[in-house]
Amino acid sequence: MDFQLMGQILPFMAEASLLTVSLTVYSLVIGLFVAMIVAMGRFSSVKPIRWVATAYVSIMRGTPLLVQLFIIFFGGPQFGLDLKPFSAGVLTMGLNIGAYMSEGIKGSIIAVDKGQTEASRSLGFGRFDTMRLFIFPQAAALMIRSLGVNTVILAKSTALVSTIGVVELTYSAQRFVTSTYKPFEVFAVAGAAYIVIVGAILLTVRGLEHLFDAHRKAAA
C-alpha cells in the first residue's frame, strides 16, 4: 500500500472531483426541471400527454444510462446534435435522473389528501392553482428524501461519462493508474472522494428535512 502515492495524487483527484460535482449539479438542475414537467404530465387531463409522460419514464428507466449516453453523444451528430462530452453527459444524466425523480414527485403528490384538492376546487381554484398553491407545497416536504436518494445515484453515475472522455474523478483515476501501475491506491482515493461528495448530498438532504420539520412543528 503506497500511502505516499495516495497523498501525492490527492490534490489532483480533489480537482477532478470538482468536475464530478459540477456534472452532478448541472444534471440535477436539468433533472429537476424534467422531473417536474414529467410529473405534471402524468397528472394531465389530456390523455396523450399522460401517455407520453408514462412512455418517457418507461424508456428512461428501462434502458441503461450508458446506452442513453452513447445514443446522445455518438448518435446525436447524425441528427445534428453535436455536443461536447461534458454537455452530452449533463444532458443525458439530467434526462435520465429526471425520469426517476418524476416518480418520487408523483408519489408525493398522490400522498397529499384528496380533500385538499376538493377544498381548493370548491373555492373556485383551477387545476393549476390547486397544484401550485396547495398540493405541491405539501408534497414538497414528502419528496425531499426520494429526490435526495436519486441525487446520490446521480452523483455516482457521473462516473459513466468517463467513457466519452470527460476527465472527471474516474477518468482521472484511470490516467493515474496508467502512469503509476497502482490501481488499488488510485481507485481507493477516487472512492473516498465519491464518499465525500455523497456525504455532502446526504447532509444537505438532512438539513432540508430539518427545515421542513421545523416548519411542520411550528404548524403542529
Partner 1 sequence: MNQQKPMIELRQIRKSYGSHEVLKGIDLVVPRGKIVSIIGPSGSGKSTLLRSINMLEETSSGEIWLDGQQVNRPLKGRVFEKHINHIRQEMGMVFQQFNLFPHLTVLQNIMIGPMRLKGLTKTAARDRANALLAKVGLADKGQAYPARLSGGQKQRVAIARALAMQPKVMLFDEATSALDPELVEEVNQVMKQLVSEHMTMLIVTHEMRFAAEVSDHVLFMDGGVVVEQGDPRQILSNPIEERTRVFLRKHLSN
The binding site for partner 1 (CB under 8 A) comprises: 113, 115-116, 118-127, 129, 133-134, 137-138, 215, 218-220
| 145 touches 205 (CB < 8 A) | yes
- Asked if 41 and 61 touch (Cβ cutoff 8 Å), the reply is no
Q: What angle do CA 25, 30, 32 make, to 5 degrees?
A: 90
Contacts of 65 (CB under 8 A, 6+ apart): 92, 93, 96, 157, 160
> Which spans in 63-168 are helix H?
65-70, 85-111, 114-123, 127-130, 136-157
Whichever of 144 and 190 has its CB closer to partner 1, that residue is: 144
- Give the residue with the Cβ less far from partner 1, 25 or 123: 123
Task: Name the helix (H) or strand (E) containing 200.
Answer: helix 183-219
Q: State the minimum distance, in angstroms, from the CB of residue 139 to partner 1.
A: 10
CB nearer partner 1, residue 1 or residue 218: 218
Q: From the CB of 47, what's the least distance to partner 1, in Å? A: 13
Choose between 1 and 219: whose C-beta lies nearer to partner 1.
219
